[in-house]
Amino acid sequence: MKSVNTQAPGVESNATGAPVKLAAQVYSQLKAEMHDFSLVPGDRFSEAEIAARLGVSRTPVREALFKLRNEGLLDVESKSGWFVKPIDFDRLEQLYDLRVLLETACVARLCARAEANSELDELKAVWLVPVAERLGDGNKVGALDEQFHASLVRAAGNDEITRVHWDVTERIRIIRHLDFTRPDRIDATYQEHAKILRAVMQRKADQAQLLIKSHIEQSKSEVRRISLATLHEAKARGRR
């Protein structure tokens, strides 16, 4: 694994002298490792171990670790150091349920509007395409999926709902990307997004709400199943 470059230009310091840019790089690296299950729930490590592995000082490591702790991904114990917290599926399912409430409310608002919306036109160019033009890269489709749902919420025109929805999005991102690791789930995403988008454009509020509710709940179910399977595989690799 490549070390984080401690000599990169443009590194700034905050009021305490901690290198802000370097801390952000360490944060991104560790979060990516949790996304990829290189770091799995239960893994333990010290600040010194992370600093040595990434080739940085302990100051940016400490800042990154506390940020991840604030997000509920890590915790620390006085005697045994830092560890990756177990995935709280109950909390994640509650966040998915909150998505249902927010997004069904937003598509209802969109369907009630008479005027055209430019954001919907942009979504059409991505999701209403021939099968041959669909993307197969899970990472790219995952990013576009996140953009699709955020755009629907933003287009409804309520800034506070948009803010809350984005907070939910960031909190489930740790496992949400797993929904795009299989070709069948990518195909399902294209099909379901297309149906939702057509229902919204045709101002069919009841149908749009039902479709988006089913879409999110199916994703919730698949993500939990894939997460458990991926965790099992990652732990088996670790034992080998």
3-state DSSP call for residue 103?
helix
What is the reported pTM? 0.77
pLDDT tens digits, residue range 48-68?
Answer: 999 999 999 999 999 999 999
Whether 90 shows a pLDDT value over 80: the answer reads: yes
In a domain, 237, yes or no: no
Of 9-18, 27-36, 181-190, minimum mean pLDDT range: 9-18
Burial of 81 (C-beta count, 10 Å sphere; 0-12/13-18/19+) = middle
In a domain, 80, yes or no: yes
Q: How many CB atoms lie within 10 A of CB 36?
A: 12
What pLDDT sits at residue 239? 58
Q: What number of CA atoms fall less than 13 Å from residue 86's CA on the CB side?
A: 6
In a domain, 9, yes or no: no
Range of the domain at 64: 20-84
In a domain, 104, yes or no: yes
In a domain, 55, yes or no: yes
Co-location of 98 and 215 in the same domain = yes
End-of-domain residue from the set 84, 106, 131: 84
Co-location of 171 and 221 in the same domain = yes
